[in-house]
Amino acid sequence: MTPIVSYQNVTKTYGDLEVLKDIDFNIYPGEKVALIGPSGSGKTTLARLLMTLEEPDSGIIEVENKNLWQEEVGGELVKAKEKHLREMRKSIGMVFQHFYLFPHMTVLKNVMEAPMTVLGLSKKKARQQAEEMLEKVGLSDKLDVYPAQLSGGQKQRVAIARALVMKPNIMLFDEPTSALDPELVGEVLDVIKEIAFESDMTMLLITHEMDFAKEIADRVAFFNEGIIAEQGDPEELFNNPKTPRLQSFLSRFNS
Amino acid sequence: MWNWDYAFSILPQILSALKITISATFVGFILALFLGLIFSVLVRSDIKIVSLAVKGIIQFIRNTPLLVQLYFIFYVFPKIGISLKPFTAGVLGLGIHYSTYLSEVFRSGIEAVPAGQWEVAKALNFSHIQAWIKIILPQVIPPIIPVIGNYLITMFKETPLLSAITLVEILQTAKILGAGSFRYLEGFTIVGIIFFLLSYPSSQLIKKLEVRLGAKN
């Protein structure tokens, strides 16, 4: 099977810090992949490169068999123009750790805005889709409320609805529950689980919730110091970690 | 000293010149808002030379007197083929001068919007212009409205400078009346009172607005 996302020899540095070291990594259509690992190990950067929020220093990222960051002009590979990037972004959606809801819009408007502005949907159509999506995340009673009046868990659920309504083929979740109070984590994880189980969307989940990763992921990859130190079937990886780094990383969650 | 009859006799003429003062204020201010916004966006340009050039222009305009700029526009521009009426020259001078202050206000407002708003706009596939219009500017404008309002009042009070380039606004009207009757007290007093009566309530209104906006956030 051909991968839907393919990282080939991808490196990324910030100053002296090499956050991704020559990464080769494939994600297959419909696959739910969880990325775990200590903070600063490169997992978030991997997602940010895919969302085109940052550019790799070298290497190739392919999405649906097309080069993400480069395009061919006159037989030569050059840095992709914004037009190419916008075309590529149609396939990708992202949920951020800090939600980033639009504070000047109601919940409903937050979800309607991109379908109207970006996809050119009519107001009626956008509203209908937004309402459906908000129902799915359990927020039908909050349509006319502003983000400032929501709890963190509710905000993140709106953010998920806002990303989903764009119907991406690939969804990135960048530590979706890390900014939440412990008692609000569950409601967000439940929503993500439901989406994971019922849709054939490809999902990349960066998380510190190990039980959650075990439950929904088809494959787990452990990042450490810019490389994928270990990856495989969740049961196998969590029950029989092979590398000492993963063993010590997991022991911190079991205590 | 003070002559009530004379004061009332010149009042209508001064009041009719108020139209010029007020329209110069508003037209100049709209120009200042427009140019200021353009400057603040250009300063953020990725193209280094654009950003540096605009920064240079802003500093130059801010650090030279408005009166010198007005003289330049009105008396020097005709030498290079641009002859402007006093009103046009005055509005242009005011607009350009104040745009440099407003661009700074816009800049601080733009920088107050979290970087995540740009990132999520990109993730939802907004184009750069769509992100500016739908996401960024609606968050920039409301908090800076009070500051913008204060600049409007300041600019209103600077309009008498336009009398120096022969625009017959209220101060110039009072001066002309004074020159004819050799009575200056009444005319200049009326002008001062008019400015106060318009500026003070406006500044109080802005204060109220500031409190309301503050409470909202």
Residue B24 clears pLDDT 70, i.e. is over it: yes
- pLDDT band for position A242 (cuts 50, 70, 90): very high
A139-153: pLDDT as tens digits: 999 999 999 999 999
Residue B67 has pLDDT above 80, yes or no: yes
Rounded mean pLDDT, A91-119: 97
> CATH no. for residue A105?
3.40.50.300
Q: Residue B216's pLDDT is what?
A: 59
Positive or negative, the Cα torsion across A180, A186, A187, A188? Answer: positive
| Average pLDDT in chain A | 94
**Pairs from A125-130 (Cβ < 8 Å, separation ≥ 24):** A129/A165, A130/A161, A130/A165
Q: What is residue B1's predicted lDDT score, i.e. its pLDDT?
A: 85
Name the domain count of chain A: 1
Cβ-Cβ contacts under 8 Å for B142 (sequence gap 6 or more): A104, B213
CA angle B11, B17, B19 (to 5 degrees): 120
Indicate whether A255 pLDDT > 60: no
* A51–B contact, CB cutoff 8 A: yes
Q: Look at residue B55 in the predicted model and tell me its pLDDT.
A: 95
Q: How high does pLDDT run on average in chain B?
A: 94
CB-CB under 8 Å, A51 with B122: yes
Which runs of E-coded beta strand occur in A5-91?
A: 5-14, 17-27, 32-36, 58-63, 66-67, 70-73, 76-79
When pLDDT is cut at 50, 70 and 90, the band that residue A76 belongs to is confident
What residue numbers bound the domain in which B79 lies?
4-216
Q: What percent of chain B has pLDDT above 70?
A: 98
Which chain B residues have a beta carbon less than 8 Å from that of A90?
A: 125
Q: How confident is the model at residue B215 (pLDDT cuts 50, 70, 90)?
A: low
Give me the pLDDT at residue B217, please.
53
Position B211 pLDDT exceeds 80: yes
**Residue A37 confidence class, pLDDT cut points 50, 70, 90:** very high
- Measured in angstroms, the CA of B211 and the nearest CA of chain A are apart by 18
% of chain A residues with pLDDT over 70: 99
B46 pLDDT band (50/70/90 cuts)?
confident
Going by pLDDT thresholds of 50, 70 and 90, the confidence category of residue A103 is very high
* pLDDT of amino acid A41: 85
Across the interface, whether the CB atoms of A163 and B123 are under 8 A apart is answered yes
- Please work out, in degrees rounded to the nearest 5, the angle formed at the alpha carbon of residue A11 by the alpha carbons of B128 and A5: 65
pLDDT confidence band for A72 (50 / 70 / 90): confident
pLDDT in tens, A155-214: 999 999 999 999 999 999 999 999 999 999 999 999 999 999 999 999 999 999 999 999
Under 8 Å between Cβ of B76 and B10: no
Asked whether the beta carbons of B122 and A52 are under 8 A apart, the reply is: yes
CA distances (Å), B129 to each of A49, A64, B108, in order?
22, 27, 19
**What is the reported pLDDT for B209?**
87
Average pLDDT score over residue span A45-69: 95
CB pairs under 8 A between A and B: 56
* Cβ of residue B123 closer than 8 Å to a chain A Cβ: yes
Closest CB from A90, A100, A114 relative to B116: A100
Mean pLDDT in residue range B135-164: 94
Q: Where residue B11 sits, what CATH number does that domain have? A: 1.10.3720.10
Q: Give the pLDDT of residue B174.
A: 94
Are residues A163 and B124 in contact, defined by beta-carbon separation less than 8 angstroms?
yes
- Residue partners of B102: CB distance under 8 A and separation at least 6: B32, B33, B35, B36, B37, B148, B151
Q: B128 to chain A: nearest residue by CA?
A: A82
Q: Among B116, B125, B138, whose Cβ lies nearest the Cβ of A90?
A: B125
Distance CA B34, CA B47 (A): 21
Residues 6+ apart with CB under 8 A from A45: A12, A19, A20, A54
Q: Which residues contact B51 (CB under 8 A, 6 or more apart)?
A: B42, B43, B44, B45
Q: How confident is the model at residue B12 (pLDDT cuts 50, 70, 90)?
A: very high
Nearest to A6 by CA among A77, A65, A52: A65
> For A119, phi and psi rounded to 5 degrees?
-95, -10
| B120 touching chain A per CB within 8 A | yes
Q: Domain range spanning residue A109?
A: 5-254
The yes-or-no verdict on residue A129 having pLDDT over 60 is yes
What is the distance of C-alpha B169 from the center of its chain? 16
Alpha helices in A38-77 (DSSP H): 43-50
pLDDT band at A68; cut points 50, 70, 90 = very high
Q: What is the phi/psi pair of residue A229, to 5°?
A: -75, -30
Q: What is the pLDDT of residue B57?
A: 96
Number of domains in chain B: 1
CB contact under 8 A, B138 and A96: no
Question: Which has the closest alpha carbon to A134: A144, A120, A123, A124?
Answer: A144
Closest residue in B to A98 (Cα) is: B116
Reference A35, options A172, A156, A179; nearest CA is A172
- Please give the residue that has the higher pLDDT: either A24 or A76: A24
Using CA atoms, how far residue B154 sits from A125, B29, B113, B150, B195, in Å, is: 47, 11, 27, 6, 11
Q: Average pLDDT of B172-181?
A: 93
**Beta pairing class for A5-14 and A58-63:** antiparallel
State yes or no: pLDDT of B199 exceeds 90.
yes
B138 interface with A at CB cutoff 8 Å: yes
* Distance, CA of A52 to CA of A89 (rounded, Å): 8
pLDDT of A253 reads 78
